[in-house]
Amino acid sequence: MNRKAFFLLMMVVLSCGCFSKKMDRDSRAGLHKQFVGYGDVNHWYEGNIAKKLDLLVKYDVGCYSIEFFGWGESDKYAVPDELEKKWQELVQAARARRVTVMVSIVNDNKGLGKYGDNKKSLAEYRSQLERAAEIIAATGPERILVQPVGETRTETGRWFDGYCVDKLGPLGFELIYNGGSRPKNAPRGFHAFAYHPATTSSTIASGAIVVTDHSRLLSELQKGGLYGYAKPERLELYAKKCISGGHSFIYYGFAHKHVDVDALKALAKVL
């Protein structure tokens, strides 16, 4: 191929944006830059994981958000070993697609009986929490963001935050703090912090990762309230508001049993 033909070929490739999507998604995949994410968080281990991630890639959403143990009647708190192969499958598929996984290992509302919870507190699952950290550690830190505890409020939650700082931190994992659900900063040992606004008009702490894990906020953003799916226009508007405020943004599909494609289409317009 002569020099003139090569130059013309490169102009065509660059003008059609053949490289831009993958490169942009890759650059937004960690804590070093703003990113947008989504997850069918409590049902991630159900269905075809690769196909779910393919949808995120299609709409250039660079982060997949999950709750490791799930929640409610189908949670896996008692049986972390059942999740080991699913976790390995997820990590392998995500890395192959340049998608980052944000995993919240536990939620400290466990035991309150909310939203189908069995009223057994985290204190009854200490060995299972350690096993979950072990499973996650075994896959290494590449493209994994770890929130040890969502909404830390109990002694066991605080213990597990510290446990993960000691166990996962030295391995190179990026750790996210969510003490009390609305912290103002990341304490020592953590690299970032997540914030759960109560409404679309709530003030958000500077530098926080916004996660829409609040029933009132989801009722604003979703058709059918907490158990519904996105109102795309409203989700897009709120996500853009958060991004313009300097925050990364995670749409938390609390009860989503399938990927919300309309939500992904909305999020694709945000960055």
In this prediction, residues 170-199 reach a mean pLDDT of: 98
Q: Give the number of residues written for the chain.
A: 271
Average pLDDT over the chain, rounded to an integer: 91
pLDDT in tens, 14-23: 433 333 343 3
Confidence of residue 191 (pLDDT cuts 50, 70, 90): very high
Helix and strand counts by DSSP (H, E) for the chain = 9, 10
128 φ/ψ angles, rounded to the nearest 5 degrees: -70, -35
Cβ atoms within 10 A of the Cβ of 46, count?
14
Cβ atoms within 10 A of the Cβ of 169, count?
16
- Portion of the chain with pLDDT greater than 90, in percent: 86
Query: Most distant CA pair in the chain: distance in Å?
Result: 71
Q: How far is Cα of residue 56 from the mean position of the Cα atoms in its chain? A: 12
Cβ atoms within 10 A of the Cβ of 104, count?
26
DSSP run (H or E) holding 69 = none
Task: Please say if the pLDDT value at position 24 is more than 50.
Answer: no
pLDDT in tens, 57-108: 999 999 999 999 999 888 999 999 999 999 999 999 999 999 999 999 999 9
Q: CA 182 to CA 9: how far, in whole Å?
A: 51
Amino acid occupying residue 131: R
What's this model's pTM, rounded to 2 decimal places? 0.90
Task: Please say if the pLDDT value at position 55 is more than 60.
Answer: yes
Q: CA 184 to CA 144: how far, in whole Å?
A: 23
Q: CA 22 to CA 29: how far, in whole Å?
A: 11
Q: CA 169 to CA 167: how far, in whole Å?
A: 6
Q: In sequence order, what are the beta bridge partners of 181? A: none
Q: How far is CA 174 from CA 140, 143, 148, 227, in A?
A: 11, 9, 11, 30
pLDDT in tens, 3-16: 544 444 444 334 33
Confidence of residue 31 (pLDDT cuts 50, 70, 90): confident
In this prediction, residues 38-50 reach a mean pLDDT of: 97
* pLDDT score of 94: 98
Confidence of residue 2 (pLDDT cuts 50, 70, 90): low
* pLDDT score of 30: 66
83 φ/ψ angles, rounded to the nearest 5 degrees: -95, -10
Residue 83 token pair: 């999740």
Domains contained in the chain, CATH given: 37-267 (3.20.20.80)
* pLDDT score of 74: 82
Residue 39 token pair: 């997850």
| Helix/strand/coil (H/E/C) assignment for every residue in 88-139 | HHHHHHHHHCCCEEEEEEEECCCCCCHHHCCCCCHHHHHHHHHHHHHHHHHC
* pLDDT score of 126: 97
In this prediction, residues 139-145 reach a mean pLDDT of: 98
